[in-house]
Amino acid sequence: MKKDSLIKGTLILAAAALIARFLGIFQRIPLEHILQNEGEAHFAIANTLYLTLLVIATGGIPSAISKLVSERYALQRPEEAQRIYQASLVFGAAAGVLLTALIYAAAPYYAVHIAKTPGAELAIRAIAPTLLIFPIIAMMRGYFQGRQIMSAGGISQIIEQILRVVVGVGLALLVLAWGWGDRWAAAAASFGNVLGGAGALIVMLWFAFKLKRSDRRERAAAKSSLTEAPEAAEVPKGSRLPYRTIYREIFTISIPIVITAMTVQLIYTFDASFLIRLTQGWYYENYKEALAVLGEFNFKAQSIAGIPPILAIALSTSIIPVISAAYSLRNMSEVQRQTALVLRIVLFTGVPAALTLTAAAYSVTGLLFSSPSGSGVAAALTAGTVFQATMMTTNSILFGLGKPRQPMMHTFVGIGLKGLLSVALAPLLGIYGLIIASTVCFIAITWLNLETINKEVKLVVLGRRWVPYLLTIMVSIAGGWGAELGMRKLASGLPDKLEYLVAAAAAGIVVVVLYLGLLAVLRVVTYEDAKSFPGPLRKLFVVLLKPFQSKSA
């Protein structure tokens, strides 16, 4: 099998991540239409709990395996790499069995006493077998990445999401057609994850078979070419590498990554688990109202808020090796330049997506889902993703600087603040109290990360341009909101979905035009900034800034 080049591998993983994210988002759209509030809440509880446990079991470990395997192959120690692969599969299988048994046994207690959603145990138990499969898949993806075969993980991820969406929605419709009710429909939708995982595992096994056959041919070729110099073929025996040593290496690398990577998912799990318990005072102990809010928060708000951070996720992944390489050479001017650049790209490009979806939340929610109810929650959660993006980016910068423990400790501080503020604000403000607490968590982690980065390099992101930048944001979001509201009134005679589409499109156009125009007019983006941006973004800003550049010249 051919190894993927760095660029090709990055493109494969980025495309797979984007497709998987959008499929994951749009799985909830048909489910929101066919499930009632009770079913939505049950599916939300099961899915959120599963994703959190999966991150705990596997997050960061594939990256550690990838690093260790690639190092062993670079040092001509393939037997050690195979030993690491075997150890990781053993760990994945053991973790899968343990977590599946735990979640299956604890489902009734968790649903009734913690999440306060009796009946969700069916959906939780339906999704539990997925944890038997995915830790093993995660270990295999890490190994293949270490062998520079990115297509294996990318294709398996896409197949997994397609099966999860199609099978989950199909089973839910079938169960409802049989008249089994929302509890069983939510469980059927959750079971789609199991079949998606099975499909992904089949893809990974197929790649493993191909790779094993390829390795066998390479070993045979190497053996025949080394018959005249047999001593050159001797390599350290991987069987002498104890599992204890392997696990120590893996966990030393992966634990800080796991803790920082699970921040957002842990927050969502906390909110889903304790929303009903903490907001009883706000909703006057109206269980049905709180249940409806939980469904809107998980199905609508989280789906919409998941769109703006996609670019930050890609940037966070790509910036680590760039900063790491410059820092290892102690080229601090390049570290400073790249660090400021990536933060400017997040601010200049990620913010418009969040602004548009915040300003047009009513129409976007109504367009995608059965009704625009919950649009206020979606707007509040989406606005906070600006700080979620900066948190993720600064975490990656510190990883690139070889300081993984600092963002881990900052994450502990942020999550502690989240818990305290949630307990204090949720009874007073309902779901908005939980969202405010999450946003404060993201801001705190970002601020602590920036303070640590500034100890290494003097970080100048915008300098004196912060005031015009903030003015640009305020004017853009006000203009987008006004355009959305005005267009809804003008298009009120159209069918609802068409009205929402027209209003959302108008808001998006106004936000983008105002935002880009003000960035150029107020000189928030300079010509030097534009020249350092990635290709398409560079071309756009060069065109926008050309009139101002010629005047200044």
- Given this model, what pLDDT does residue 333 score? 78
Nearest-angstrom CA–CA distance, 151 and 8: 9
What is the mean predicted confidence (pLDDT) over 521-532? 73
Asked whether the beta carbons of 76 and 235 are under 8 A apart, the reply is yes
For residue 305, the model assigns a pLDDT of 85
Q: What is the residue extent of each domain of the chain?
A: 1-218, 259-461, 462-552
Average pLDDT over residues 238-261: 78
Residue predicted with more confidence, 236 or 91: 91
Q: What is the structure's pLDDT at 225?
A: 65
CA-to-CA distance for 162 and 429, rounded, in angstroms?
A: 38
DSSP string for residues in 410-469: HHHHHHHHHHHHHHHHHHHHTHHHHHHHHHHHHHHHHHHHHHHHHHHS---SSGGGHHHH
Q: Check residue 521 and give left, alpha or beta (phi > 0: left; psi -120 to 50: alpha).
A: alpha
Measured distance CA(99)–CA(529) in Å, rounded: 48
Instruction: Return the exposure string of 113-145: e unless at least 16 CB atoms fall within 10 Å of the residue's CB, then b.
Output: eebbbebbbbbbbbbbbbbbbbbbbbbbbbbbb
User: Of 129-133, 213-217, 377-381, 471-475, which gets the smallest average pLDDT?
Assistant: 213-217
User: What pLDDT, on a 0 to 100 scale, did the predictor assign at position 448?
Assistant: 94
Note if the pTM is more than 0.75: no
Q: 438-452: per-residue pLDDT in tens?
A: 999 999 999 999 889
Query: Is the confidence at residue 473, as pLDDT, over 80?
Result: yes
Query: Is the pLDDT reported for residue 74 higher than 80?
Result: no
Distance CA 372, CA 366 (A): 4
Q: Which of 403, 406, 394 is nearest to 342 (CA)?
A: 394
Give the containing element (helix H, strand E) for 392. helix 385-400
pLDDT for the residue numbered 340: 78
Rounded CA gap, 529 and 549, in Å? 13
Q: Give CA–CA dist 197/203, Å, rounded.
A: 10
- Minimum mean pLDDT range among 154-158, 165-169, 183-187: 154-158
For residue 60 the two structure tokens come to 């960061």
Residue 155 has pLDDT above 90, yes or no: no
- 353-396 residue pLDDT tens: 888 888 889 999 988 887 888 888 999 999 888 888 888 888 87
* DSSP SS3 for 48: helix
- Type of residue at 420: L
The answer on pLDDT for 233 being more than 50 is no
How is residue 367 written in tokens? 């367009």
Considering only the C-alpha atoms of the chain, give the largest distance between any 2 of them, rounded to a whole number of Å. Answer: 86
Q: What is the mean pLDDT of residues 107-127?
A: 88
Query: For residue 151, is pLDDT > 80?
Result: no
Q: Are 262 and 55 in contact (CB under 8 A)?
A: yes
Place 318 in a pLDDT band, splitting at 50, 70 and 90. low
Closest C-alpha among 50, 252, 37, 66 to residue 144: 66
- Which pLDDT score, from 0 to 100, does residue 537 have? 63
Residue 40 reports pLDDT greater than 60: yes
Is pLDDT of 541 > 80? Answer: no
Q: Considering only CA atoms, give the Rg of the chain.
A: 25
CA distance 58 to 246: 16
Each residue of 486-501: pLDDT tens digit? 999 888 888 888 999 9
pLDDT greater at residue 290 or residue 324: 290
Closest CA to 491 of 507, 473, 511: 507
pLDDT of residue 526: 72
Residues 474-505: b if buried by 16+ CB within 10 A, e if exposed: ebbbebbbebbbebbeebeeeeeeebbbbbbb
